[in-house]
């Protein structure tokens, strides 16, 4: 399609779908990749990530044709709206994109643009790899023990946004229905009350858990853990768990075993060709992340649990400033850092671009360019280990040298050239 404002490149080719059933892509050597720099510090970390990703692509004989698209503040300046149709359509058409952080107001104002993009494009799996980089200060003694990937369902649960404001006629209609028609007359306090729905479906649960199992099998992981609060929410989160076990048995029965089978049939030692599927209660899992970190490889979770747990895991490896993320759909992906927009630091060329850069690494892996992705990771780790880092890491390390965002990115590029 043609675009009125989005900056379409003069060269580059469109990524196409090679297999509709599997979602496999046909990726040219010079793909067009839409990029949203983002709000706040996105104006700094977006260009920095582009610089590094360009270098990794070129070092492996490829080229990225960037297509600048807009959302949030930059879109309001150009379109007078937060999420223009042509931004959504550009990502839909080109299938793989990357974005920086977008601001979401608390309590009022527009709804989350991050959630809107995921839901509109049906990017149902929010995937957050969590691993420690040498040289990053951490609050735990052994941050290197954390090497986990979170699969968080993106379209359902309380994040679906089906809710009614306290004191409105609609909220009272829902209250009356719940109390009078459904018989929950003692469950809701008198007076104004905000109400929301928590949809968790078999379809949504199984396609998320399928992605997690496929990832674990493809990457030689030992286990997939279904994280839920099914002891309390028996018809939503317990259903998520049950559908997960059902999927594993029906579709991956030759490749998976349950934790019960692990102990009953294998005395706790899983065969090399078996993936263990297990489950944990969400609040207990927050403990287990700290106390039994190495027991977990891939987590599959409903939306809210996934948000909390992936952020907690990120804290163990040094914080969200270095935590990458990517959203998967069927034959479509949108990479994004986990951190927010930090508007007070915007435009100062000071913040750490690592999370955005490593999100780009996940994008490169999704394209099938794992050699380029490995260059990015190795170069970033070497850079951080050298002690030449941005202010957030410099202030936590003795003898470190403080760099600007752009300087950090430029030195990572030099390391990519050296490693290639």
Q: Which residue ranges make up the annotated binding site for D-threo-isocitrate?
A: 112, 114, 118, 128, 152
Give the residue carrying structure tokens 């990749």.
33
Residue among 37, 13, 14, 51 at smallest CA distance from 98:
37
Tokens of 183: 């018989």
Continuous H helices in 103-166: 113-120
Asked if 62 contacts 369 with a C-beta cutoff of 8 angstroms, the reply is yes
Catalytically active residues, by annotation: 159, 229, 283, 307
What torsion, rounded to 10 degrees, do the Cα atoms 145, 316, 293, 212 define? Answer: -100
Cα gap 252→406, rounded to integer Å: 46
| Closest listed residue to residue 34, CA positions, set 117, 92, 75 | 92
Q: By C-alpha distance, which of 299, 365, 329 is closest to 118?
A: 329
**What residue numbers does the annotated binding site cover?**
103, 112, 114, 118, 128, 152, 307, 352, 391, 395
Binding-site annotation: residue ranges for NADP(+): 103, 352, 391, 395
Strand 223-228 relative to strand 298-301: parallel, antiparallel, unpaired?
parallel
Contact by Cβ (8 Å): 122, 116:
no
Residue 353: both structure tokens together: 């671009």
Q: Is 54 helix (H, G, I), strand (E, B) or coil?
A: helix
DSSP alpha helix (H) spans, 295-420? 303-316, 354-366, 370-386, 391-394, 405-419
Q: Helix crossing, 42-59 with 354-366: angle to 10°?
A: 40
C-alpha–C-alpha distance, residues 30 and 64, integer Å:
5
Residues in Cβ contact with 279 at an 8 Å cutoff, skipping those fewer than 6 apart: 225, 226, 227, 228, 230, 241, 244, 245, 259
Torsions phi, psi of 179, nearest 5?
A: -80, -50
CA distance linking residue 163 with residue 158, whole number of Å: 9
Which residues fall in the annotated binding site for Mg(2+)? 307
Q: Measured between alpha carbons, how far is 231 from 234 in angstroms, rounded to an integer?
A: 6
35, 341 Cβ separation under 8 angstroms:
no
């Amino acid at each position: 399609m043609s675009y009125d404002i989005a900056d379409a490149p003069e060269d580059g080719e469109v990524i196409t779908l090679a297999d509709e059933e599997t979602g496999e892509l046909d990726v040219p050597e010079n793909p067009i990749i839409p990029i949203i720099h983002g709000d706040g510090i996105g104006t700094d970390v977006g260009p920095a990530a582009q610089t590094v990703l360009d270098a990794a692509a070129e070092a492996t004989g490829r080229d990225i044709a960037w297509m600048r698209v807009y959302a949030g503040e930059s879109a309001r300046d150009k379109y007078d709206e937060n999420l223009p149709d042509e931004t959504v359509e550009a990502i839909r058409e080109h299938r793989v994109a990357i974005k920086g952080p977008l601001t979401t107001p608390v309590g009022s104002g527009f709804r989350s643009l991050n959630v809107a993009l995921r839901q509109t494009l049906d990017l149902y799996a929010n995937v957050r790899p969590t691993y420690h980089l040498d040289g990053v200060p951490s609050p735990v003694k052994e941050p290197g023990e954390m090497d986990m990937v979170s699969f968080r369902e993106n379209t359902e649960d309380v994040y679906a946004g089906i809710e009614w404001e306290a004191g409105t006629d609609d909220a009272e209609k829902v209250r009356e229905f719940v109390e009078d028609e459904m018989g929950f007359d003692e469950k809701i306090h008198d007076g104004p009350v905000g109400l929301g729905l928590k949809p968790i479906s078999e379809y949504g649960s199984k396609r998320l858990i399928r992605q997690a199992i496929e990832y674990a099998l493809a990457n030689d992981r030992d286990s997939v853990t279904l994280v839920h609060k099914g002891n309390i929410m028996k018809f939503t989160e317990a259903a998520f768990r049950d559908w997960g076990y059902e999927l594993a048995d029906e579709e991956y029965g030759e490749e998976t075993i349950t934790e019960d089978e692990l102990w009953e049939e294998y005395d706790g030692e899983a065969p090399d060709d078996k993936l263990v599927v297990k489950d944990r209660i969400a609040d207990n899992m927050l403990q287990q992340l700290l106390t039994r970190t190495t027991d977990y490889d891939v987590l599959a979770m409903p939306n809210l649990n996934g948000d909390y747990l992936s952020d907690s895991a990120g804290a163990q490896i040094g914080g969200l400033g270095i935590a990458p993320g990517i959203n998967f759909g069927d034959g479509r992906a949108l990479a994004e850092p986990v951190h927010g927009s930090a508007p007070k630091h915007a435009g100062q060329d000071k913040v750490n671009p690592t999370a955005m850069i490593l999100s780009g690494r996940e994008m490169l892996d999704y394209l099938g360019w794992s050699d380029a992705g490995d260059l990015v990771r190795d170069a970033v780790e070497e850079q951080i280990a050298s002690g030449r880092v941005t202010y957030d890491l410099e202030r936590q390390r003795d003898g470190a040298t403080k760099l600007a965002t752009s300087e950090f990115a430029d030195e990572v590029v030099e390391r990519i050239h050296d490693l290639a």
